[in-house]
Each structure stands twice: as structure tokens, then as C-alpha cells.
């Protein structure tokens, strides 16, 4: 029930961000199509960030995090489940609505397909990387923005390849390379991020 509300907001957020650009760009469908992948991908980054600082902070304040650290199951598993939850509310919705947004911005079917794939592979990476940042900035002055300062630069490669894949297919080029690089990111992140985030949490609670 609470989840559904959250997902709703995120979707809502996307629609706003994406519909803000025709405003600036004007209705020329040509330009719209041109910028569509970038816009949608940036929206993905921002959405992921918006919810990031709420990833651990509540548990930190009310002491649940301590309990997780001394729980019988390994911390990284608990962290991974939290990351998953974060993706479900921040990433997944975008993957689902992206076809609509794509059409709204006049993308053709094939590019939309690639867009969805790239988002499906890319957005989990965002949540994974973000978790590490969230762990590091826990209980730190000026947390939220510092967090984004740390995380956004690391998001950029994902953005480049994600948007790159779609632009490639739009300009009739080969996009496999981009997608497989994204996949590589995902695997690396899956292996390292939970451990990294767990370490970060241990550090911030010591």
C-alpha cells in the first residue's frame, strides 16, 4: 500500500520532468526525438537520487541499523534487500512507463525497445552505486546534497552508455557494445556494491 503510493509519485515525477522539455524545446518532434533518450535517462538518475537519502537514514535514527549490524544474517544480504526495494520504487516504475514517455517524445518502436532494455539493465546499477554513497553520508552534516555530490559523478558512465545505446540505434548504428558494457557494470556493481555499502555502514556506525 505504502509502496504503491511511492511508485505513483516517482511515475508522476517522470511525467513532469519529461513534459518540461517540450516546453523549452517547443513542439518540433524532430528535436524532441533527438533529446528523448537523454532526457529520460537523466530523469532516471534524478529519480534514483531523490529517494536515496531516505534509504538508510530512518533505520539509522531509530536504531534498526544497529540491529542489522549485529543480526545473524550477513549485513550485505540485508543491504541488498534494501537496495532491491529502492530499485523497485525508483527504477522499475521508469522502466514500465518509459515506452509511454518515449512515444510522447516521438521515438520509434525499435529505439523504445532499446530504451527499455537499457533502463532495465542500467537503473539497478544506479541503486547499487547509490547505496554506497548513502552509507557513507549517514549522519553527516549537509547529508542529502553531499550524497548527490558523491554519487552523481559515478552515475555518469551509466548515463553515457544508457543514453548512448538509444542514440546509437536511433542513428542506425550498432548498439550491442553499449548494452553489454551496461551489463558488465551491473554485474560488477552486484558483486561489489552490497559489500561496499555494508562496509560504509559499519564505518558510519562505529
Partner 1 sequence: MRILSKSFWLQVSAPKAFYPVAGKLIPWFTAIAIILTLVGLYMGFFVAPTDFQQGESYRIIFIHVPAAWMSMLIYVLMACYAAIGLIWNTRLSSMMATALAPTGAMFTFIALWTGAFWGKPTWGAYWVWDARLTSELILLFLYFGFISLQAAIDDPQRASRASALLALVGLVNVPIIYFSVKWWNTLHQGSSLNLDKGSSMEATMLWAMLIMTFAFWAYTIVAALLRVRAVILERERHSEWVGELLGVGK
Partner 2 sequence: MLEAADLQCVRGDRVLFDHVSFSVQSGELLHVRGANGSGKTTMLRMVCGLVSPSSGEIRWRGQSARGLGDEFHKELLYLGHQAGIKAELTALENLKFSSAVGGHALDTQTAVAALRQMGLKGREDLPSKVLSQGQQRRVALARLLVSKAPLWILDEPFTALDVKAVAMLQDVLAEHVVGGGIALITTHQDFTLNRGALRALQLGA
Q: Is 196 in the site for partner 1 (CB under 8 A)?
A: yes
- Rounded to 5°, the CA angle 194-197-199 comes to 110
State the nearest-atom distance from the C-beta of 116 to its own copies, in Å: 16
Q: Which is nearer to partner 1, 72 or 190 (CB)?
A: 190
- List residues binding its own copies (CB under 8 A): 2, 5-6, 8-10, 12-13, 16-17, 20-21, 23-26, 28, 31, 34-39, 41-42, 45-47, 49-51, 53-54, 61, 89, 141-142, 144-146, 148-149, 152-153, 155-156, 159-160, 163-164, 166-167, 171
Binding-site member from 23, 70, 72, 109 for partner 1 (CB under 8 A): 23
Reduced to 3 states (helix: H, G, I; strand: E, B; else coil), residue 79 is helix
Reduced to 3 states (helix: H, G, I; strand: E, B; else coil), residue 59 is helix
**How many CB atoms are closer than 10 A to CB 180?**
13
Q: Is 43 in the site for partner 2 (CB under 8 A)?
A: no
Whether the CA torsion 186, 175, 100, 148 is positive or negative: it is: positive
CA atoms within 13 A on the CB side of 11: 15
Amino acid at each position: 500500500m505504502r509502496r504503491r503510493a511511492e511508485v505513483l509519485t516517482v511515475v508522476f515525477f517522470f511525467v513532469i520532468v519529461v513534459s518540461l522539455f517540450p516546453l523549452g524545446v517547443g513542439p518540433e518532434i524532430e528535436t524532441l526525438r533527438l533529446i528523448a533518450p537523454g532526457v529520460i535517462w537523466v530523469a532516471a538518475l534524478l529519480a534514483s537520487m531523490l529517494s536515496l537519502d531516505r534509504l538508510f537514514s530512518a533505520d539509522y535514527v531509530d536504531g534498526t541499523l544497529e540491529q542489522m549490524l549485529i543480526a545473524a544474517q550477513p549485513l550485505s544480504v540485508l543491504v541488498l534487500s534494501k537496495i532491491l526495494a529502492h530499485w523497485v520504487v525508483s527504477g522499475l516504475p521508469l522502466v514500465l512507463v518509459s515506452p509511454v514517455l518515449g512515444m510522447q517524445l516521438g521515438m520509434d518502436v525499435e529505439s523504445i525497445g532499446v530504451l527499455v532494455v537499457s533502463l532495465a539493465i542500467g537503473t539497478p546499477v544506479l541503486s547499487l552505486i547509490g547505496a554506497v554513497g548513502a552509507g557513507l553520508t549517514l549522519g553527516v552534516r549537509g547529508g542529502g546534497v553531499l550524497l548527490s555530490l558523491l554519487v552523481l559523478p559515478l552515475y555518469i558512465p551509466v548515463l553515457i552508455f544508457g543514453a548512448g545505446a538509444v542514440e546509437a540505434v536511433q542513428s542506425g548504428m550498432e548498439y550491442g557494445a553499449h548494452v553489454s558494457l551496461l551489463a558488465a557494470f551491473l554485474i560488477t556493481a552486484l558483486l561489489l556494491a552490497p559489500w561496499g555499502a555494508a562496509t560504509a555502514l559499519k564505518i558510519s556506525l562505529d
